[in-house]
Amino acid sequence: MKVEATRPLARLPDEWVLEVARHGGRSFHGKQVFRWIQARGVTDPLKMSDLPANLRVALSADGLGAALEVADQRRAVDGTRKLLVRLQDGATVESVLIPGVSGRRRMGAEIVEDADAAAADEDEDESEGAEEGPMRVTQCISTQVGCAMGCIFCASGVAGLKRHLGADEIVAQVLAGRSMLDEGERLRNVVYMGMGEPLHNYDATVRSLRLLTHPDGIGFSPRRITVSTSGLVPEIARLGQDFAGQIGLAISLHAADDETRTRLMPINKKYPLSVLMDALRAYPLPKRRRITIEYTLVAGKNDLLLEAKKLAKLLRGLPVKINLIPMNPIEASSLGPPRMEGTLEFQRALLDAGYSCFVRRRRGDDVSAACGQLALLGAKPKVRVDRS
């Protein structure tokens, strides 16, 4: 199941330096190749116009491969675009472009209308001038085809793991997404919240983070990237160490006691709440940053007011903000979201306990925007389809 780490489109600058040296190229040529691929999205060596001709030909003969193609794009009425991504072996995953985070917050009501964690944080940090300039877009990306974690409310979990993505396939989603932005939009945040458990595919996830944050590539600031995990404790610690806590962390908690959490998320048997909470306390979070706690509300499973109070107690002392996500119904299960009043009561209890707590509006509902749904649905368009 292991994916080779250094396929051409996953190479870092130093690796390109070694590679071009095999063809007699100089070290700055290696850096140029990296820039062509990762900053400009050009994967045809013959088009890398500042390389010597013989090097272009040699690299072209080796072939860089192509990581993916965007097979389908669905645009929801709220502007969310869901991309159906087809990988080289025909497997499909999904990626979502979510525009318009700024200026949508309903003042005072603590309902945030964006579908991601990090972007909301950025807005809080930099609320001044948020209405100015280009429309900020957040991209949600996948790390696996399916998922091995088996969460019962999740389409990817129900499907099971088909395979890991390589770092090239993870980053290529961002390169493709960036190239598909509408005029006046700018890619601002990346969230690892698509199909799959990023920390189960740790090496490729880390390599993709290094590629995305490299200053000669797209050059994302690590704080604009958030990795979401169901709670793989050893890998949370490793991620904290490998990036000195700079990468944003989101935890899919979904319950405040072990019995309930294990019922929803089998991974809780391996890493129960006490162990997970210790890992969060140990995460080397920079000052003024918070861990995002995701809590998918599933009617009759984890939505009692009592559970909100338990959650408040569990998280006491941790720098967190809480995102409540009414469950998006999935085909494979009869589970669903609680009524809106119940959701707001749950939120109220957490606000009263002193937490930042948002209800995430389900962006792009009309295009099956819940985790894993589009890729698993196949390519049957439900609404308007824009082919790219």
- Binding region for ligand SF4 (CB under 6 A): 147, 149-151, 154, 156-157, 196-197, 230, 252, 371
325 interface partner picked from ligand SAH, ligand SF4, none, CB below 5 to 8 A per type: ligand SAH
Determine contact, residues 273/311, Cβ cutoff 8 Å.
Answer: no
Determine contact, residues 249/283, Cβ cutoff 8 Å.
Answer: yes
Q: Is 125 helix (H, G, I), strand (E, B) or coil?
A: helix
Catalytic entry in 94, 122, 235, 294: 94
How far apart, in whole angstroms, are the C-alpha atoms of residue 8 and residue 168? 8
Report the candidate in 378, 321, 372 with the shortest Cα–Cα distance to residue 96: 372
How far apart, in whole angstroms, are the C-alpha atoms of residue 188 and residue 27? 31
- Whichever of 146 and 240 has its CB closer to ligand SF4, that residue is 146
Report the candidate in 41, 90, 96 with the shortest Cα–Cα distance to residue 73: 96
Question: Does 235 sit near ligand SAH (CB under 6 A)?
Answer: no
138 interface partner picked from ligand SF4, ligand SAH, none, CB below 5 to 8 A per type: none
CB of 282 to ligand SF4, least distance (A): 21
* Number of residues in contact with ligand SAH under rule CB under 6 A: 17
CB of 143 to ligand SF4, least distance (A): 9
CB of 213 to ligand SF4, least distance (A): 23
Report the candidate in 217, 87, 209 with the shortest Cα–Cα distance to residue 144: 87
CA atoms within 13 A on the CB side of 181: 19
Question: Does 371 sit near ligand SAH (CB under 6 A)?
Answer: yes
Per CB under 6 A, contacts with ligand SAH among 252-291 are: 252
- If you count them, how many residues does the chain have? 388
Q: What is the CA radius of gyration of the chain?
A: 21
94 annotated active-site: yes
**135 backbone dihedrals φ, ψ, rounded to 5°:** -70, 125
327 interface partner picked from ligand SAH, ligand SF4, none, CB below 5 to 8 A per type: ligand SAH
User: Which neighbouring-strand residues pair with 320?
Assistant: 291
- Whichever of 72 and 294 has its CB closer to ligand SAH, that residue is 294
CB of 312 to ligand SF4, least distance (A): 23
Residues with active-site annotation: 94, 371
Q: Which residues bind ligand SAH (CB under 6 A)?
A: 147, 153-154, 193, 197, 228-230, 252, 294, 296, 325, 327-328, 330, 370-371
